[in-house]
Amino acid sequence: MNNGLNFRDIAEQELDDPSLDQELFTRCLKHAKGDNQYARQIYLHRRIAELEKKKTNLDQREKWPMLIPLLVLYSLGTIGVLFLVFLFLANRLGWW
């Protein structure tokens, strides 16, 4: 929840600065049908959502789903190679 409050502060500061995302605010004003206060609330809501989306750490979220299939494939490959070596040695040494 703390991140949401920080993002809200950032979005409110943007509203007071001239560096405001004018295109987004114009769309919000159009959606609010000219009501400046309602447009400010819409802007805050959309801007906070954008900031939260940017903050997502994709590396941390995707680490395990990519690691598990690799571990399975490497394990199967290692077992397969060991099996082939065993068959080769068994054939050469006459264990059959």
Assess whether 43 and 29 both reside in one domain.
yes
Task: Confirm if 55 and 3 have CB atoms less than 8 A apart.
Answer: yes
When divided into structural domains, the chain yields a total of 2
Assess whether 47 and 80 both reside in one domain.
no
For 94, the domain range is 58-96
Structure confidence at residue 71 (pLDDT): 92
Rounded to the nearest 10 degrees, the angle between the axes of helix 36-55 and helix 22-31 is 130
Give pTM, 2 decimals.
0.47
Mean pLDDT, to the nearest integer, of 10-32?
A: 74
Structure confidence at residue 58 (pLDDT): 60
